[in-house]
């Protein structure tokens, strides 16, 4: 009987998401103390700048205030 590790599940999920068009970013590369931080704290779950850019890109015809509400 094969045991499934947390790493195996994580790698599987990453591969599925990449096949669906998502971009994988290694956590330490966007950590608050990295050279290229994208979050102020490890408690920040969402990368707000990336989310905002994506919402604008896929909803360019939607008023800005509605996009802001959606992000909130």
User: Does the global pTM surpass 0.75?
Assistant: no
Is residue 58 classed exposed, middle or buried when 0-12, 13-18 and 19+ CB atoms within 10 A define those classes? exposed
User: Residue ranges of the domains in the chain?
Assistant: 6-71
Q: What is the per-residue pLDDT across 20-44, written as a single tens digit (0 to 9) for each? A: 999 999 989 999 999 999 999 999 9
The pLDDT of residue 8 is 95
> How many separate helices (H) and strands (E) can be counted in the chain?
3, 0
Percentage of residues in the chain having pLDDT higher than 90: 83
């Amino acid at each position: 009987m094969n045991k499934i590790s947390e790493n195996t599940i994580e790698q599987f999920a990453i591969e599925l998401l990449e096949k669906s068009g998502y971009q994988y970013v290694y956590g330490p590369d966007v950590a608050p103390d990295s050279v290229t931080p994208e979050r102020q704290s490890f408690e920040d779950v969402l990368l707000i700048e990336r989310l905002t850019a994506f919402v604008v890109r896929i909803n360019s015809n939607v008023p800005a205030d509605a996009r802001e509400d959606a992000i909130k």
